[in-house]
Amino acid sequence: MERTLLKNFELEHKNPSVEALRRWRSAVTFVKNHRRRFRMVADLDKRVEAEQIKQGIKEKFRIALYVQKAALQFIDAGNRVEYKLSSEVRDAGFGIHPDEIASIVRGHDNKTLNDIGGVESIARKLLVSVDGGVNEESINSRQQIYGFNRYTEKPSRSFLMFVWDALQDLTLIILMVCAVVSIGIGIATEGWPKGTYDGVGIILSIFLVVIVTAVSDYKQSLQFRDLDKEKKKIFVQVNRDGKRQKISIYDIVVGDVVHLSTGDQVPADGIFISGYSLLIDESSLSGESEPVNINEEKPFLLSGTKVQDGQGKMLVTTVGMRTEWGKLMETLNQGGEDETPLQVKLNGVATIIGQIGLTFAILTFVVLTVRFVVEKALHGEFASWSSDDAKKLLDFFAIAVTIIVVAVPEGLPLAVTLSLAFAMKKLMNDKALVRHLSACETMGSASCICTDKTGTLTTNKMVVTKAWICEKSMEIKGNESADELKTCTSEGVLNILLQAIFQNTSAEVVKDKNGKDTILGTPTESALLEFGCLLGADFDAYAQRREYKILQVEPFNSVRKKMSVLVGLPDGGVRAFCKGASEIILKMCDKIMDCNGEVVDLPEDRANNVSAVINAFASEALRTICLAFKEINETHEPNISDSGYTFIALVGIKDPVRPGVKEAIQTCIAAGITIRMVTGDNINTAKAIAKECGLLTEGGLAIEGPDFRDLSPEQMKDVIPRIQVMARSLPLDKHRLVTNLRKLFGEVVAVTGDGTNDAPALCEADIGLAMGIAGTEVAKENADVIIMDDNFTTIVNVVKWGRAVYINIQKFVQFQLTVNVVALVINFFSACITGSAPLTAVQLLWVNLIMDTLGALALATEPPNDGLLKRPPVARGANFITKPMWRNIIGQSIYQLIILGILNFDGKRLLGLSGSDATKVLNTLIFNSFVFCQVHSACIMP
């Protein structure tokens, strides 16, 4: 304990004085000794004595802490580290040392930050503006001085390391020893080079087995390295040269102004500039589950943490290995993939088969040896032993060891890994990035997919196609519709509508390199901004954006289902704007702008008329968004309220169904997979989209989240199997549905999601599928598969490959068990009856090479076919080796043993073989027949 604390102390405080170190050691030692004493006393039953000692220790403990505090204060006062700027930093014009700025953020040093002058002063020292961001021309110099935003990775393993690993197999080592002894005895008895043939043959076989195994493992490691690079492709939005743009986190430099919103990953260490309700999840660094509220008082943001709620801007101060995350990565070695459930199951199968093989090997060796000794005794040669006899015994031992090599199916885990790695590589080409190996095999068993609507079933390219303003409905089809809307709408209503669109948004209109307008933001917000621009408003030049002051913001999230903003007017007044789910916003309104543009009361009958319009829009598969405002006349500090608003407009946003989705859903249904849509949209919109996709069928149930929440456990058992659409759902509704499907009904559930709110359901599901385009980093982090094109058709490909993996491994297991049974039985019974084994050590090693490596490569990498989707999904807990597989294994084994038995026991007579080499010729024929029989067994479907 003392050493650890002292080491941390010395790391935190550069060059502490001797006196300070002495005090520190004294304080730590004192505390350590008395803690130990108190723990000992606390275990005793003498409460009075313990209490007295406790009081004394408390006093001494307090003194020790004062000593420690004094030592720290002494160091802070007299030994504060002074960072001297190097000539390189000064020549570049920067005014702060890289280590100094890193230590301020990493140590959450508010005092030093305030002494320097806050974030504005830090920005000036870094030669940036908190609004404009970094100048593109200075990026190279920033990277040279402050570093690149990359982490030192564990060096990849070389090919020779995989060769060395393959050579560590115990049975191969025993065979190598046997080969060397065989060469020595062979040269002594038969001379050079004839005496080396058997031994060299074994060595060459071992060499080929090792090389093929090493090549397979090495290629697999290269595939995983490519997949790891894909997983780390994260993009963020920054300000550079006064323009907002999207860049990779690896291109982040010190001084960048980064925009953060819910679900983003903090790309580097930095300082908070501005924002609203910014909650950061620091559990990846601190282990604390409670989120941290970031504001001017707590302005420090750390790399690797995630935005749980809110939005804000940060100034990047530290990148790469200087960040807190980088320091942590230095102490960690990234582990490999955990074994998948199928690999674990097959490892158990391999162990049992290996034990059976060991038993057969020992019995074969004992039978051959006993028979040989008995024959020598019968011939009166027991007392005389020659080198030929020793060589025969060595051959018996080599055969026994080789039986173990063949019997131990080390190719099973290899086949699984190869099949999964091959599937992962192919799926990456098909726009699906598999983050966890087990997802491939599990997806083949999926019996239910709970899918999101927006961006998965639909294109996620939203456009306002209909609007209801001043109690008038109109289609929006380009500039002509916009001109018509402006003509029939009063200037006051149009002005307040544009304020509601442009003030209450987290999106932004920026100019690209070609000078064209580009909207950065969520699809829904982008559609509203595009609608505002269509009405003739200029985002940058619009007066409200420059003159009006934003006082407070409540960002959109899946629980509130609305976004609100409080705006300070130029005349000193305050106005609130709110937009969001139509039913929620309508309940907050008690006034409406009528057909004359006047603000009038909104009684129940008028509200019912608005609800009818909302339902009419929704039945046309439009996402409905309401916009409202409220004048705030409070003299004290105003807050955003949830009532008293004036209804401005209703807009209908069209998000077309993706091409091919309907066919993909029908394919899933035919494959025995139930599709359920879980969305936050209006139930009429959800039902319209579900019908268009062919998802909502006769007898299927569409339910709203609040109704689902109110169901009792008994009702859920009856209702859940019929649910096909769940609308207006909260994150916990989705999580509850997934949990019940898995636990109550034993379903293997896949879940798609794109937001931070989907993370609980993605974790709970058997397979989590996150959207690569619309998905937040939090959703991707909690997912097993990332759908790079956000397309439901890609999910069907994942299912198909998952089933292919499962069936390919079944083929390989069936093939290998057949080979094992035949090889073990024919050698054992031949040894018992004839005293010799027809399959020699070299031949068995070649069989092992074909079976465990080349067989795995051939069978485990077979691509999927459409017939796989006509099979039902594999049930949870189903036996891996099925009844048809046992039938094929037993049938093939009997058929092969009959052929090989006839050849072995009566082959010379049937084939007319005679002479000194008749046995060798017969054994060669037996071996070739054995190999060709396996080719046939490999072609049988399980």
- Residue 518: pLDDT over 80: no
In sequence order, which residues have a C-beta less than 8 Å from that of residue 727 and are 6 or more positions away? 679, 680, 681, 682, 683, 685, 686, 687, 702, 703, 704, 705
Highest mean predicted confidence (pLDDT) among 144-158, 227-241, 511-525, 901-915? 901-915
Question: Which one of 1.25.40.80, 1.20.810.10, 2.30.40.10, 2.70.150.10 gives the CATH number of domain 80-150+250-333?
Answer: 2.70.150.10
Alpha helices in 79-196 (DSSP H): 87-92, 98-106, 110-116, 118-125, 139-146, 159-167, 170-190
pLDDT computed for residue 2 by the predictor: 45
918 alpha carbon, distance to own chain's centre: 61
Question: Which one of 3.40.50.720, 3.40.50.300, 3.40.50.1000, 3.20.20.70 gives the CATH number of domain 432-458+658-790?
Answer: 3.40.50.1000
Q: What are the distances in angstroms from CA 685 to CA 454, 587, 623, 755? A: 11, 19, 6, 20
pLDDT computed for residue 413 by the predictor: 63
In sequence order, which residues have a C-beta less than 8 Å from that of residue 868 and are 6 or more positions away? 800, 803, 804, 807
**Comparing 123-137, 255-269, 477-491, which segment has the lowest mean pLDDT?**
477-491
Nearest-angstrom CA–CA distance, 537 and 380: 113
In sequence order, which residues have a C-beta less than 8 Å from that of residue 73 and are 6 or more positions away? none
> Looking at this protein, which amino acid is placed at residue 516?
K
pLDDT computed for residue 331 by the predictor: 52
Do 119 and 315 contact (CB within 8 A), yes or no? yes
10 Å Cβ neighbour count for 376? Answer: 15
10 Å Cβ neighbour count for 367? Answer: 19
Of these residues, 217, 264, 452, 681, which one is catalytic?
A: 452
Q: Give the mean pLDDT of 93-99.
A: 87
Do 665 and 675 contact (CB within 8 A), yes or no? yes
What sign does the CA torsion over 273, 274, 275, 278 have? positive
In sequence order, which residues have a C-beta less than 8 Å from that of residue 804 and are 6 or more positions away? 423, 444, 862, 863, 864, 865, 868
pLDDT computed for residue 77 by the predictor: 41
pLDDT grade for 203, boundaries at 50, 70 and 90: confident
pLDDT computed for residue 18 by the predictor: 46
Bridging pattern class, strands 645-654 and 463-469 = antiparallel
**Comparing C-alpha atoms, which of 413, 439, 412 is closest to residue 424?**
439
**Comparing 89-98, 459-468, 752-761, 783-792, which segment has the lowest mean pLDDT?**
752-761
> pLDDT for 800-855, tens place per residue?
988 888 888 888 888 878 887 888 788 778 777 776 777 776 777 677 666 666 77
pLDDT grade for 601, boundaries at 50, 70 and 90: very high
pLDDT computed for residue 73 by the predictor: 44
> In this structure, which topology does domain 463-653 adopt according to CATH?
Calcium-transporting ATPase, cytoplasmic domain N (3.40.1110)
- Residue 51: pLDDT over 60: no
- Quickly tell me which residue has 């092992």 as its tokens: 848
Q: Give the mean pLDDT of 515-528.
A: 81
Mean of the per-residue pLDDT values of the chain? 79
- Residue 53: pLDDT over 50: no
pLDDT computed for residue 70 by the predictor: 46
**Comparing C-alpha atoms, which of 833, 923, 934 is closest to residue 893?**
934
Q: Give the mean pLDDT of 381-394.
A: 76
pLDDT grade for 48, boundaries at 50, 70 and 90: very low
Nearest-angstrom CA–CA distance, 535 and 616: 24
**Comparing C-alpha atoms, which of 249, 372, 260 is closest to residue 311?**
260
pLDDT grade for 334, boundaries at 50, 70 and 90: very low
The yes-or-no answer on residue 452 being catalytic is: yes
* In the chain, domain spans: 80-150+250-333, 353-412+806-941, 432-458+658-790, 463-653
> pLDDT for 255-311, tens place per residue?
999 999 887 889 899 999 988 888 888 876 665 667 888 988 889 998 888 888 888
Q: Give the mean pLDDT of 891-907.
A: 89
- Residue 52: pLDDT over 60: no
Nearest-angstrom CA–CA distance, 893 and 172: 27
744 alpha carbon, distance to own chain's centre: 26
